[in-house]
Amino acid sequence: MNIPENLRYTKEHEWARKEGNLIVVGITDHAQHKLGDIVFVELPAAGTQIKAGTTFGTVESVKAVSDLFAPITGEVVESNGELANAPETVNKDAHGAAWMVKVKPANPAEYDKLLSALDYKKLCEAEG
């Protein structure tokens, strides 16, 4: 299982990473593997306010629709427009090129409450 130590995680299988004063968000490699071939990604435009624990976008595999859950509350300052034309990037590089949104957090301390790599690994193992 590919679960980088330098990322934080949600129980809904998003990852979050600090980049300066922003938080970069995507879905985990484990999630893309479970979903299968990703063919559609829908993300909020810059300026959108998102709220921790609520949906902020959608990914669809050939078979199924999945909501994206925000790890943190804040304002989207950039979303990855490349994914609309190349959704398969999520399968190829979930933790890198397939980042989804960059968020200016309302309360940066929220980041520290997200799951650690170890806790996320335990969660994935428990879900099977």
Distance in Å, CB of 40 to other proteins, minimum = 5
Binding site for other proteins (CB under 8 A): 36-37, 39-40, 42, 58, 60-63, 65, 84
3-state class (DSSP) for residue 7: coil
3-state SS class at 32: helix
> Of the two residues 84 and 118, which places its CB atom closer to other proteins in the complex?
84
CB of 37 or CB of 127, closer to other proteins = 37
Beta carbons of 118 and 126 less than 8 angstroms apart: no
**Residue 14 C-beta: closest distance to other proteins, Å:** 18
Q: What is the per-residue DSSP string for 65-118?
A: EEEEE-SS-EEEEEE-THHHH-TTHHHH-TTTTT--EEEEESSGGGGGGSBPHH
Min dist. Cβ of residue 18 to other proteins (A): 30
Residue 1 or 118 having the CB closest to other proteins: 1
